[in-house]
Copies of this chain bind each other. A is one copy, B any other.
Amino acid sequence: MDLGMTERVKPLVETVRRMIEDEIAPLDAEFHAEVGKHPKGRFHHTARQLEILDGLKAKAKARDLWNFWLTGSDRGYGLSTVEYAYLAEEMGKVSIAAEVFNCNAPDTGNMEVLERYGEQWMKDRWLAPLLEGEIRSAYVMTEPGLASSDAAQLAFEAKRDGDDFVLNGEKWWISGAGDPRCALYILMACTDPDAPKHNRHTMFVLDPATPGIEVLRPMEVFGQDDAPHGHMHIRFTDVRVSAKNIVLGEGRGFEVAQGRLGPGRIHHCMRAIGQAEKALEMMCRRGLSREAFGKRIIDLGANYDIIANARMEIEMARLLCLKAAWMMDTAGVRAAQPWISKIKVVAPLMAGKVIDEAMQLHGAAGISQDFDLAHMWTHVRTLRFADGPDAVHRRQVARAELRKYSNEGA
C-alpha cells in the first residue's frame, strides 16, 4: 500500500506547485475582482478574465500539464489516483488552478461519464473539446422540492414521444451552468416512475441551448453566487431531446450516476486538504507576525494546541484520502465506495474546522475579502452536501461495518 509520492510524480508536483504559486495565484485575485464588470452581468466573462484563463491554460497545455485527472487511462498522463491526489491537493490552494490544468469539477466527472458510457458521436461532439478545455459542461441532477440525496425520489420528468423524450421540471444547484462556455448538460430524468427503484431514471446528454431551457437564477452560497461559474436554478419546459441522447440505456441512469460519483467525490476531498494546508500556513504566518498584549499572537491562549491539532487532523485526513485513492487504484471504484464515503465525511469537516480556526486567528480580517479564508470556508461547507450529505455517507460506512457481522443478523 504505497501512499507516498512516486518518483514519477514528484517533479510533476513540484512543477505544478511552482506554476500555481508563481503564475496562477498572482492572477487569481484579479480574475475574481473582474467578476461583475461585464456590462451584461455577472455571468459573463470579461475580456480580461478570458485572457487570464486562456493564457494560463495555453501555458499549462504547452508544458504538458494537462488532464492529470484521467487516471488509470492511456489518454492523459496515466497517473494513478494516488499520484493524482498530490497534484489535486496543490490545485486546491488557488481557486482557478484546477481549471488551468483542465482538472476542474464538474467537467472531470462529466468527461468520465462520456469516456466510460458515451457513444462515439457523444465523444466526438463533447468529450474531445472538453479534453481540450475548449468547452465547459454541467451535471444536472439535484431537484428543488425533494431530498435529492435519495436519488430514487428524483421526479423531473422525461416522457417518451415517438423517437424523442420531452423534459419538464426544475433542477437546481447546477454548478458550472452559469459559465457562458457551458456547452453540455448531462441530465438525469425520471423515465418510469413505476419501475423498480434503481431503474426509474435515465441519463441524457443535451445542449444547454435547446429550446425550453430557462436559467431562473443563481443559487447563492452564503450570499455568494460564484459567478461566472455559478450554481444555477433551471426550468425545463417541454424540452425535446432525441432518444439517441440517452447514455448507456433507458432506465440505467442510476448506474451512470454511481460510476460518475466516486472519482468526483475524492477529487473534492483532495483539494479540500490542500485548502486546509493553506489555511494552516496562513494561521502560522499571521500568528508569528502580529502582536497583542506584549506577545506574538501565536504565543497567546491555546494557539499552540490549535496548530498542533490542525496539523494532526490534516495528516490523518490526507492519509485516509490516499488510502481511498489506493483502494480505487487497486480494487476499483465499487470496492472503494465505503472508503470514498469515509473521506467524503472527513475531509470537508476537517478543512472547515482548520479554516475556521485560521479565520479566528486572523481577527475579523479573516472573514473579509482581504483573505481567501472566507471563500475557502464557504466552498468546503458546500462539500458537506455535494455528492451526498454527510449523513448519507455515514450511513454507508456504518452499513459496511455491520455487514461484517451479517451472520449475526446485521
The proximity string for A residues 345-384 relative to B, scoring 1 for CB distances below 8 Å and 0 otherwise, is 1100000000000001001110111000011011001101
> Which chain B residue lies CB-closest to A146?
B290
In the complex, are the beta carbons of B307 and A391 less than 8 A apart?
no
In the complex, are the beta carbons of A346 and B222 less than 8 A apart?
no
Q: A290-B147, A404-B284, A408-B285 are in contact. Are A367 and B382 (CB under 8 A)?
A: yes
In the complex, are the beta carbons of B363 and A398 less than 8 A apart?
no
Q: Given the complex of chains A and B, what is the CA–CA distance between A293 and B408 in angstroms?
A: 20
The proximity string for A residues 302-346 relative to B, scoring 1 for CB distances below 8 Å and 0 otherwise, is 111101110110011101100100000000000000000010011
Least CB distance from A372 to B in Å reads 11
Q: A3-B3, A142-B364 are in contact. Are A345 and B312 (CB under 8 A)?
A: yes
Residues 265-305 (chain A) with a chain B CB within 8 angstroms: 280, 284-285, 288-293, 296-298, 300-305
Q: Given the complex of chains A and B, what is the CA–CA distance between A149 and B300 in angstroms?
A: 12
Contacts of A222 in B (CB 8 A): 222-224, 367, 374-375, 377-378
Least CB distance from A358 to B in Å reads 13
Least CB distance from A89 to B in Å reads 15
In the complex, are the beta carbons of A284 and B405 less than 8 A apart?
yes
In the complex, are the beta carbons of A288 and B394 less than 8 A apart?
no
In the complex, are the beta carbons of B312 and A320 less than 8 A apart?
yes
Contacts of A147 in B (CB 8 A): 290-292, 297, 363
Of the candidates A1, A221, A297, A398, the one having the most CB atoms from chain B within 10 angstroms of its own CB is: A398
Copies of this chain, how many? 4
Q: Given the complex of chains A and B, what is the CA–CA distance between A305 and B357 in angstroms?
A: 15
| A409 within 8 A of partner (CB) | yes
Q: Given the complex of chains A and B, what is the CA–CA distance between A405 and B378 in angstroms?
A: 27
| A402 within 8 A of partner (CB) | yes
In the complex, are the beta carbons of B308 and A316 less than 8 A apart?
no
In the complex, are the beta carbons of B398 and A305 less than 8 A apart?
yes
Residue of B316, B364, B378 near A173 (CB, 8 A) is B364
Least CB distance from A143 to B in Å reads 11
> Which chain B residue lies CB-closest to A2?
B2
In the complex, are the beta carbons of A375 and B223 less than 8 A apart?
yes
In the complex, are the beta carbons of B346 and A302 less than 8 A apart?
no
In the complex, are the beta carbons of A395 and B360 less than 8 A apart?
no
Q: Given the complex of chains A and B, what is the CA–CA distance between A142 and B386 in angstroms?
A: 37
Q: A147-B290, A342-B315 are in contact. Are A367 and B389 (CB under 8 A)?
A: no
In the complex, are the beta carbons of B311 and A150 less than 8 A apart?
no
Least CB distance from A250 to B in Å reads 24
In the complex, are the beta carbons of A300 and B223 less than 8 A apart?
no
Residue of B346, B384, B391, B409 near A296 (CB, 8 A) is B409
In the complex, are the beta carbons of B290 and A369 less than 8 A apart?
no
Contacts of A220 in B (CB 8 A): 368-369, 374
Least CB distance from A115 to B in Å reads 27
| A199 within 8 A of partner (CB) | no
Closest 5 CB pairs of A and B: A1-B4, A302-B302, A319-B319, A316-B316, A150-B292
30 of the cross-chain contacts (CB-CB < 8 Å) are A1-B5, A146-B290, A147-B290, A147-B297, A149-B292, A149-B363, A220-B368, A220-B374, A222-B374, A223-B224, A284-B410, A285-B405, A285-B408, A289-B409, A301-B302, A301-B305, A302-B302, A302-B391, A303-B398, A304-B395, A307-B397, A307-B398, A307-B401, A308-B398, A311-B397, A316-B316, A316-B319, A316-B320, A360-B389, A364-B385
- In addition to A2-B3, A304-B398, A360-B391, 17 A-B residue pairs with Cβ atoms within 8 Å of each other are A1-B2, A2-B4, A219-B364, A219-B369, A220-B374, A223-B374, A284-B404, A284-B410, A288-B405, A301-B304, A301-B305, A302-B305, A305-B391, A308-B398, A312-B346, A316-B319, A367-B382
